[in-house]
Amino acid sequence: MDVMEFVGIDLGWKASPPAEKATAICVMDSKGMVNKIELVTENDEILSFLERDSAWAGIDAPLIVNNQEGLRGCERSLFDRGIRVLPANRTFMGRKFGSCMGVDLANRLFEMGYSFPGEREDKVIYEVYPYGALQILTGGEMPRYKKGQADERRKGAMRLLEIVRDWLPVSIPSWLDEEIDSATPGELKSVMDKVDSVICVLCVYCHWLYSGKRTEILGDQEYGFVLLPRR
């Protein structure tokens, strides 16, 4: 197998037109070093990051949505654990976002040779959920980094980076800490999207590094699944 790489995608869910720079992408190597974090807009830009011989991608968006209404089974499992999640069904996603962007992206990736887990080992895509992962890693005491005053959000994001650096043997560049610390209130959303892309990539990296022993998959490939750290 070629050298494995990992890609975390915090996907912008708005379909037409996509919001400017609403998708954050993080690329990591097999030694746990983050090499790139960027903001992009179009699907073609996202796909350019996946043009790799061997890569696992963690995508923060529903990748399988076969239900017209209600919740998927993996979402019911999350609710049972006290973890909030938006309902992924075709009616809701179409009305609110114009399409199921994760499904659309997954279909494009299948054309590039990617698959869901179990079919091949070199090019695999997983649905991940940064909020759920962080709820598990913090025991439900997740610092606020998405809402609240700017200083509170900056402090919360810095604390989250401490938590994930303790979780896995990884190297996250210090410039991300500096960007969090210096971001203006108007820049904070984009910076926090970058933080989420890091969480996305760490979920699949953890799954690969420990051969699934420190992660779990809720749901199935018929009705939808999500990869999470184990409690």
For the cut 60, the answer to whether the pLDDT of residue 1 exceeds it is no
Question: Has residue 12 been placed in a domain?
Answer: yes
pLDDT digits (tens, 9 = 90+) for 93-112: 999 999 899 999 999 999 99
pLDDT band at 119 (very low <50, low <70, confident <90, very high): confident
pLDDT band at 216 (very low <50, low <70, confident <90, very high): very high
Residue with tokens 């962080």: 134
Domain interval for residue 215: 5-223
d(CA 84, CA 147): 15
How much is the average pLDDT of 200-210? Answer: 98
pLDDT at 112: 97
Question: Has residue 208 been placed in a domain?
Answer: yes
Question: Has residue 229 been placed in a domain?
Answer: no
pLDDT digits (tens, 9 = 90+) for 139-158: 999 999 999 999 999 999 99
For the cut 60, the answer to whether the pLDDT of residue 46 exceeds it is yes
pLDDT at 16: 80
Question: Has residue 175 been placed in a domain?
Answer: yes
For the cut 80, the answer to whether the pLDDT of residue 3 exceeds it is yes
> Model pTM?
0.96
Number of domains in the chain: 1
pLDDT digits (tens, 9 = 90+) for 8-38: 999 998 888 888 999 999 999 999 999 999 9
pLDDT band at 2 (very low <50, low <70, confident <90, very high): low
Whether 10 contacts 60, CB under 8 Å: yes
pLDDT at 169: 96
* Mutual angle of helices 130-137 and 150-167, in 10-degree steps: 70
pLDDT at 123: 97
Signed CA dihedral, 121, 167, 25, 174: sign only? negative
pLDDT at 55: 97
